Structure 1
């Protein structure tokens, strides 16, 4: 069995069937232009590349090449549609275990590479491109911030392997001076400490969660189900606008809403 997840690759291939692959990008990026119904879309995924020149980015992590590559792929979409009233949607397929940790990455400015990806996604969203993130595996740490978190709408597949957090369990346990078991007990009562998608949903950040029959190798019915949800999400963004206000409605985000209210009053 492979040591790295291939969910992102499998879902990219399933959803982008018949699309035109974009060339000139790192092997760890899969990007293709196609259609979702009558809506032009660009599919984007970060995938494992065992031959990556940076060893810390061989298992699907978002590193230097991936950060700058995503920025280029998104910027190119913005440029292509600059004069178009009907902007292509960006379908961001998320299965990223972490950003790439390493001395090379730190020395060569991984913070700039990932910030470049974030900036491009944010500019695309504000320029009118619906940005929809589909979480099919791990959405962890800076990797998720760079690839997916700027989306207008977040959609997650319901599966124990779909997890969202700032860091892996072992790392979080070390930082908080707890065992993994103690951390899991704490997560049961503190949603932001949890990894499961139901706890994440209570924070108001998910637009929808979907059940599929085969998350590793999606069936035709699974693909139809997800495509229908993606289409609805795109239309919802086109109707309601480019901001992220939809994330603030959950009961566990009351403090966030209050902070924004006070900031508006004072600034």
Structure 2
């Protein structure tokens, strides 16, 4: 069963925002709520499945036109409302997204601009002093993850087989590489960027922390406390560091990334 069918993102959103104030004026496929985490004001954001979405390609939790622009709106509102405040609210992106919404209408109406708008808003929020944390509770796939969560200074993932990170689904990746799914899995075992599991993703230096919980699909009270404690630690870690994403460099399988940056600095 896929994580979006299980509605992991929605379940975790409801659990972490119980009693919080929901933000109105957004599409039904986007849940946003303001709350507090420890002494820090936070805004939780999640893209969820909506069977009545007017765009059929975006009915199973994909990030499409409405979702991209909706995320941009929700983040921009936080930036504008907190401008000038010493303590700006943190943005917690709850990630369970199987893909961007592929479709002819989406392409014609500029899905690239909608998703770029979401990325731009998250990046501007981070540079404006908002801590941004990505909480991976299900699938984090393709352009959907790039638009929702990937701009976070810290990425936290539940340690569960249902949590997967990749540029595309296995069936699509197999077609692109002219392999069967089984052959793709054999290749992924030796090439970390091709793998879907958290251990391989962590070896790229992109994951700040992973957590084992009792109920990854429908979180228990203990699960919520554990995740909230980890989020608080992440926010404290961000507060003591820089606003950029340099913490992702330095991992064993990111040596080339560091080398490229050194060469670019030398030339520019």
Q: Same fold (TM over 0.5)?
A: yes
Q: Distance between the aligned counterparts of 1:102 and 1:200, measured in 2?
A: 28
Q: Distance between the aligned counterparts of 1:208 and 1:52, measured in 2?
A: 34
How do residues 181-192 of structure 1 correspond to structure 2 at under 5 angstroms? 181-192=182-193
**1:72 aligned partner:** 73
Please list every run of 5 or more consecutive structure 1 residues that lacks an aligned counterpart in the other structure. none
> Offset at 1:9?
0.2
Q: Distance between the aligned counterparts of 1:114 and 1:156, measured in 2?
A: 22
How do residues 78-97 of structure 1 correspond to structure 2 at under 5 angstroms? 78-97=79-98
**1:44 aligned partner:** 45
How do residues 1-267 of structure 1 correspond to structure 2 at under 5 angstroms? 4-267=5-268
Q: Distance between the aligned counterparts of 2:250 and 2:131, measured in 1?
A: 20
Name the SS for the 1:4 alignment partner.
helix
* 8 Å contact kept, 1:5–1:48: no
Per-residue CA deviation, residues 122-174 of structure 1 (Å, 9 max, x unaligned), is 00000000000000000000000000000010000000010000000000000
Q: Distance between the aligned counterparts of 2:202 and 2:247, measured in 1?
A: 13
TM norm structure 1: 0.99
Q: Distance between the aligned counterparts of 1:220 and 1:5, measured in 2?
A: 18
Q: Distance between the aligned counterparts of 1:216 and 1:254, measured in 2?
A: 35
Runs of 4+, deviation exceeding 6 Å:
none
Per-residue CA deviation, residues 231-258 of structure 1 (Å, 9 max, x unaligned), is 0101111110211010002010011000
> Offset at 1:83?
1.3
Q: Distance between the aligned counterparts of 1:12 and 1:238, measured in 2?
A: 24
Q: Distance between the aligned counterparts of 1:92 and 1:242, measured in 2?
A: 17
Please list every run of 5 or more consecutive structure 2 residues that lacks an aligned counterpart in the other structure. none
Q: How many residues align?
A: 267
TM norm structure 2: 0.98
